[in-house]
């Protein structure tokens, strides 16, 4: 809290105070930020502890059964510690599941129901009569460090992957107008954000639902189209990182923007698997030869391109041969960074209706370890190309013994880091040139100056 803010609040009547527990993916984090921004604009204070809050919002995740359990655990903890709880987010789409365990929660709203959450907060703790609207910084309230921010460009998804219930929870694709996204991005950059992380469920499908409608931005029309948006974002002077992109042909032209230095040479492509048979069962497009050709073509356009992906091992019916196809793929495609999940049944997902044999837990575990070992080798090999080079890095954290930074090839929270020797003037959020001296398995070491 700033000095002037605390001064004002002592003069005013009691300031309504809320707490928030935010679970799940970056998309859920963006939802939490929107709710907080709205409430701060109305004069609410945010408490970092259960004790100080008059009501607690729990923003849940309902994607995997383990995430549902974690969400129910978080609701239980908030009920025990505070007792006045509003539940929102993905699990909020299933109020019966929550009410059965916690009949006394104050309200339950589904994902993206910002207005309902705010209304529920008003009912529990009315807003102050004299809201200090000036307490809200122009970029809104962010839960990420000041120098990077997630930028959500659409909600929902038109795909129907059999292991996923997001379309059931969040509905079909709804894209934001390009000008809206650009205005938000511009505000963030003006407020000091150096890196914009573009997120959605399917970024490359952006605008399909609105037939690429144009909107007004800086005295011209901009289409709600993946390429057009990426190009405009690239003009704002911040790093632009693209997440959840599918390997459609029109992605090629966005890779050109990467080669021109307009957006970061980084693509997060959630392949999930490489075996055509498994992909068919997952109801995802799949021809790994074509994908390999596409990746080769991308790297021809932009040789430094880093590819991040996520994969699922142990999907029902996955055979040893099919799993090995996946290992061959990540090596051939030289996937720089990968997250790997062991398949878990998700209540409501159609994969459970396929009547395919479940992969035993110990086999899943074994495949997961083999996948991680193979990916580690690829990662270590890919990182070698950077040794000896001087590259721009963004500083995430300055500690007494090390400066933790990231290259353009790594996203915050999920990828690797560049560990720098401490140097004078190091400041979080600054972009500096670093000479890479060593490559480890996932991280780099380097020095500045």
Whichever of 40 and 176 has its CB closer to ligand SF4, that residue is 176
Q: What span, in angstroms and rounded, lies between the C-alpha atoms of 127 and 112?
A: 21
Q: Which is nearer to ligand SF4, 88 or 201 (CB)?
A: 201
CB of 167 to ligand SF4, least distance (A): 5
Q: How far is the CB of 24 from ligand SF4 (least distance, A)?
A: 13
- Quote the CA–CA distance of 270 and 342 in Å, as a whole number: 15
Distance CA 163, CA 181 (A): 30
Residue ranges in contact with ligand SF4 by CB under 6 A: 157, 159-161, 164, 166-167, 201-202
List the structure tokens of 422: 């401490």
Nearer to ligand SF4, 186 or 202 (CB): 202
| Alpha helices in 109-243, H assignment, sequence order | 114-124, 166-170, 178-190, 226-233
CB of 187 to ligand SF4, least distance (A): 27
Q: Are 447 and 420 in contact (CB under 8 A)?
A: yes
Nearest distance, CB of residue 141 and ligand SF4, angstroms: 26
Q: Look at residue 2 and give its three-state secondary structure.
A: coil
Q: Which residue has the tokens 């061959």?
A: 328
Given a contact cutoff of 8 angstroms between Cβ atoms, the answer to whether 196 and 185 are in contact is yes
Which two tokens mark 119? 């209304």
Is-contact 267 243, C-beta < 8 A? no
DSSP state of 442: S
CA distance 356 to 386: 44
Length of the chain: 449
Q: How far is the CB of 201 from ligand SF4 (least distance, A)?
A: 4
Q: State the minimum distance, in angstroms, from the CB of residue 160 to ligand SF4.
A: 6
Nearer to ligand SF4, 167 or 317 (CB): 167
User: Judged by CB, which is closer to ligand SF4: 262, or 283?
Assistant: 283
- Give CA 313 to chain center in angstroms: 21
- Shortest distance in whole angstroms from residue 154 CB to ligand SF4: 11
- C-beta closer to ligand SF4: residue 25 or 106: 25
Q: Which of 214/352 has CB closer to ligand SF4?
A: 352
Shortest distance, position 336 Cβ to ligand SF4, whole Å: 21
Find the shortest distance in angstroms from Cβ 285 to ligand SF4. Answer: 10
Of the pair 169, 420, the CB lying nearest ligand SF4 is at: 169
Other beta carbons less than 10 A from residue 387's beta carbon: 14
Cα 58 off chain centre by: 18
Nearest-angstrom CA–CA distance, 125 and 128: 9
Compute the distance between CA of residue 352 and CA of residue 125 in angstroms, rounded to an integer: 42
Count of other CB atoms within 10 angstroms of residue 445: 17
Nearer to ligand SF4, 100 or 172 (CB): 172
User: What is the Cα–Cα distance from 243 to 25, expressed in whole angstroms?
Assistant: 12
Write down the least CB distance from residue 345 to ligand SF4, Å.
15
Q: How far is Cα 43 from Cα 16, in angstroms, rounded to an integer?
A: 7
Instruction: Tell me the longest C-alpha to C-alpha distance in the chain.
Output: 70
Q: Which residue's CB is nearer to ligand SF4, number 282 or number 393?
A: 282
Minimum CB separation of residue 209 from ligand SF4 in Å reads 13
Nearer to ligand SF4, 44 or 315 (CB): 315
Residues whose CB falls within 8 Å of the CB of residue 100, separated by 6 or more in sequence, listed in order: none
3-class SS of residue 370: helix
């Amino acid at each position: 809290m700033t000095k002037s803010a605390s001064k004002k609040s002592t003069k005013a009547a009691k300031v309504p105070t809320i707490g928030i527990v935010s679970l799940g993916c970056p998309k859920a984090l963006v939802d939490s930020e929107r709710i907080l921004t709205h409430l701060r604009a109305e004069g609410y204070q945010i408490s970092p502890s259960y004790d100080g809050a008059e009501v607690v919002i729990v923003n849940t995740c309902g994607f995997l059964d383990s995430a549902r359990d974690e969400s129910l655990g978080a609701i239980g903890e908030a009920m025990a510690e505070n007792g006045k709880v509003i539940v929102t987010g993905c699990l909020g789409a299933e109020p019966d599941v929550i009410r059965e365990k916690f009949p006394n929660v104050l309200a339950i709203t589904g994902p993206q129901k910002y207005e309902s959450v705010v209304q529920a907060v008003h009912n529990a703790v009315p807003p102050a009569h004299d809201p200090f609207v000036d307490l809200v910084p122009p970029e809104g309230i962010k839960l990420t460090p000041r120098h990077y921010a997630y930028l959500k460009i659409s909600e929902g998804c038109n795909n129907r992957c059999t292991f996923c219930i997001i379309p059931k929870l969040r509905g079909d694709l709804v894209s934001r107008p390009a000008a809206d996204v650009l205005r938000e991005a511009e505000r963030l950059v003006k407020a000091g954000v150096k890196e914009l992380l573009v997120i959605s469920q399917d970024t490359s499908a952006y605008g399909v639902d609105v037939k690429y409608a144009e909107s007004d931005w800086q005295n011209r029309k901009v289409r709600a189209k993946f390429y057009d948006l990426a190009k405009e974002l690239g003009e704002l002077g911040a790093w632009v990182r693209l997440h959840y992109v599918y390997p459609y042909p029109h992605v090629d032209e966005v890779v050109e923007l990467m080669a021109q230095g307009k957006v970061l040479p980084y693509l997060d492509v959630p392949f999930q698997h490489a075996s055509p048979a498994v992909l068919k069962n997952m109801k995802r497009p799949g021809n790994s030869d074509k994908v390999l050709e596409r990746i080769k073509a991308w790297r021809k356009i932009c040789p430094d391109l880093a590819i991040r992906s996520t994969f699922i091992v142990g999907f029902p019916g996955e055979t040893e041969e099919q799993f090995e196809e996946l290992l061959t793929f990540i090596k051939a495609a030289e996937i720089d960074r990968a997250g790997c999940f062991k398949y878990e049944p998700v209540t409501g997902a159609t994969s459970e209706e396929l009547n395919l044999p479940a992969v035993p837990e110990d086999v899943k575990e074994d495949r997961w370890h083999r996948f991680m070992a193979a990916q580690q080798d690829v990662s270590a090999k890919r990182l070698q190309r950077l040794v000896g080079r001087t590259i721009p890095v963004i500083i995430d954290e300055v500690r007494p013994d090390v400066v933790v930074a990231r290259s353009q090839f790594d996203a915050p929270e999920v990828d690797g880091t560049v560990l720098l020797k401490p140097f004078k003037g190091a400041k979080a959020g600054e972009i500096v040139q670093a000479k890479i001296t060593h490559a480890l398995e996932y991280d780099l070491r380097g020095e500045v100056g």
